[in-house]
Amino acid sequence: MNLIPYAGRQYGLQFPVMCDGYVSVDYSDNIASEGRGIWDHEGSFTVEVLFCPYDVNGYGSNSTGTTTSGSRPLDTFCNGGFGNQTSQKTMPSRAANISTNTDDILYMPVANRLNHRMCLFSSTNFKLYIINKTSTSVNQPAEYYIEAQLTTGSTTTTVRSGKVFNALDTHNMSHGDPTLFSYTKGAVNLFKTNFTGAQSVANDKLLVSDADSNRLQMRLENGQTLFKSDGTVIGVVESVSATSATNILFEMDRDVHETCASSTDIYLNAPKEITYPLSAHHVGVSYHSPSNTINIFFNGTKIVNGKHTDTTVFTFGAADITLGQDRTSTSNKYSQFMGELHEVAVLKGSKSSMNTTTTLLPQYSETLLYIDFEEADI
């Protein structure tokens, strides 16, 4: 077989943020009276998915600060009040202090985003997800780990990786005044604030001054970490209160009396960035029936293995197979995949290594299911 090379962007089936969609391989449409193909398969298998995930967190704000009139201008929130409202790759995120109902919160509250699971593959007895593992959406894009669930009989084994889709804490950028930044190996990791007169007024209280207290509250929100110029952690902000038009008092999570003397320069984390929505990634899961082992691969590297305890012969189950949502879940929305699907393959046998991660090349004799969403490339 001759392979034809193509250059350019990899197209795929897009699931934009806040969508409600999935791909179904219907059991009833493919089976007349008895199991065939993937529904007839027993024992070892390998599932491979080439995909690009999007950010479910969005650029959030948990500030509850108000002006004397009881409201705040939108430009005083760190995210402009609603985050990014024009991207298909990152969720909008309404600030906590805004009471107006917005589509993004009605679709998925922030609390649900922080542990949202995106379904890549779902059958009766095997499911594959990536799951967000973050504690806030303030300067914190989604970071995902991989989870595989395998069921035989009444026993379900869950195997999880560590986080594999991560935000960047440092990045290169152009700027005017290099003294306003802190660096790690030449890359920006901290931004200097314009606060003056920083001083500890009690063990866990920090007073700072700024010409515009609303702007100051915009910069510092609950849960954000403060640093000194050398990267030393001052503490984590637990609450913010204005003591005058130009002074703000921060309740910290620790004693700052020794670490933050008068006129200490204060730094914040640089805006975190993500690159995972920019290119496709390969995830593979193999199940070896004789040894009852489950392996998870990420971009060609085996990152975790697990052991299934039940000895019942594995089958995918006589039901629909879905991509993009777990239709067996009671709340389909909370398993919604957001991103781009490029290729999906299910193969007979357990692969011990992944021979290619930029495209899938399943052998015909081993293929139980193969879907290519990159037809637009051709």
- pLDDT (tens digit per residue) in 171-207: 666 555 666 667 765 666 787 776 766 777 777 888 7
Residue 8 has pLDDT above 90, yes or no: no
Local structure of residue 10 (DSSP, 8 states): P
For residue 36, being part of any structural domain is answered with yes
Going along 196-309, which residue ranges are E strands?
196-202, 205-209, 225-227, 233-242, 247-252, 267-269, 281-288, 293-298, 301-307
- Is the same domain home to 51 and 145? yes
Q: Assign 252 to helix, strand or coil.
A: strand
For residue 3, being part of any structural domain is answered with no
Structure-model confidence comparison of residues 218 and 132, the more confident one: 132
- Is the same domain home to 117 and 183? no
For residue 44, being part of any structural domain is answered with yes
pLDDT at 121: 98
Over residues 253-266, mean pLDDT: 77
For residue 336, being part of any structural domain is answered with yes
The residue with tokens 């959406």 is 137
Nearest to 213 by CA among 251, 250, 244, 237: 244
pLDDT at 280: 94
Cα separation, 227 vs 213, whole angstroms: 20
Q: How many Cβ atoms from other residues are within 10 Å of residue 36's Cβ?
A: 11
Over residues 74-79, mean pLDDT: 56
- The domain boundary residue, chosen from 215, 239, 269: 269
Mean of all residue pLDDT scores within the chain: 83
- Is the same domain home to 163 and 282? yes
pLDDT at 291: 96
Cα separation, 230 vs 119, whole angstroms: 42
**Do 287 and 315 form a contact (C-beta atoms < 8 A)?**
no
- Is the same domain home to 291 and 333? yes
Least confidently predicted of 167-171, 210-214, 228-232, 250-254: 210-214
Residue 64 has pLDDT above 80, yes or no: no
> What percent of the chain stands above pLDDT 70?
77
- Is the same domain home to 283 and 230? no
| Structure tokens, 269 | 């984390």
Cα separation, 65 vs 61, whole angstroms: 11
Q: How confident is the model at residue 217 (pLDDT cuts 50, 70, 90)?
A: very low
Cα separation, 216 vs 218, whole angstroms: 5
The whole-model pTM stands at 0.84
- Is the same domain home to 188 and 160? no
Residue 216 has pLDDT above 50, yes or no: no
- Is the same domain home to 163 and 298? yes
For residue 83, being part of any structural domain is answered with no
- Is the same domain home to 260 and 191? yes
pLDDT at 26: 92
For residue 84, being part of any structural domain is answered with no
Least confidently predicted of 24-38, 152-166, 302-316: 24-38
Nearest to 56 by CA among 159, 130, 163, 162: 130
**Do 360 and 370 form a contact (C-beta atoms < 8 A)?**
yes
> 158-166: which pairs have CB atoms within 8 A and are 24 or more residues apart?
158/306, 159/294, 159/296, 159/304, 159/305, 159/306, 160/131, 160/304, 161/296, 161/298, 161/303, 161/304, 162/303, 162/304, 163/133, 164/298, 164/303, 165/53, 165/130, 165/274, 165/276, 165/281, 166/274, 166/276
CATH number at residue 364: 2.60.120.200
Q: How confident is the model at residue 49 (pLDDT cuts 50, 70, 90)?
A: very high
- The domain boundary residue, chosen from 251, 269, 287: 269
Cα separation, 221 vs 193, whole angstroms: 13
- Is the same domain home to 230 and 373? no
**Do 249 and 241 form a contact (C-beta atoms < 8 A)?**
yes
Domain total for the chain? Answer: 2
pLDDT at 69: 40
Over residues 68-78, mean pLDDT: 51
- The domain boundary residue, chosen from 269, 301, 331: 269
Residue 239 has pLDDT above 90, yes or no: no
Measured in whole angstroms, the distance separating CA 356 from the mean position of its chain's CA atoms is: 24
- Is the same domain home to 23 and 134? yes
| Structure tokens, 375 | 């037809």
The residue with tokens 């806040």 is 18
Over residues 208-213, mean pLDDT: 63
Angle at CA of residue 250, ends 248 and 253, nearest 5°: 175
- Is the same domain home to 211 and 315? no
For residue 79, being part of any structural domain is answered with no
pLDDT at 173: 61
Residue 60 has pLDDT above 60, yes or no: yes
Over residues 228-237, mean pLDDT: 83
Nearest to 160 by CA among 282, 47, 49, 303: 303
Range of the domain at 221: 178-269
- Is the same domain home to 119 and 162? yes
CATH number at residue 222: 2.40.10
For residue 261, being part of any structural domain is answered with yes
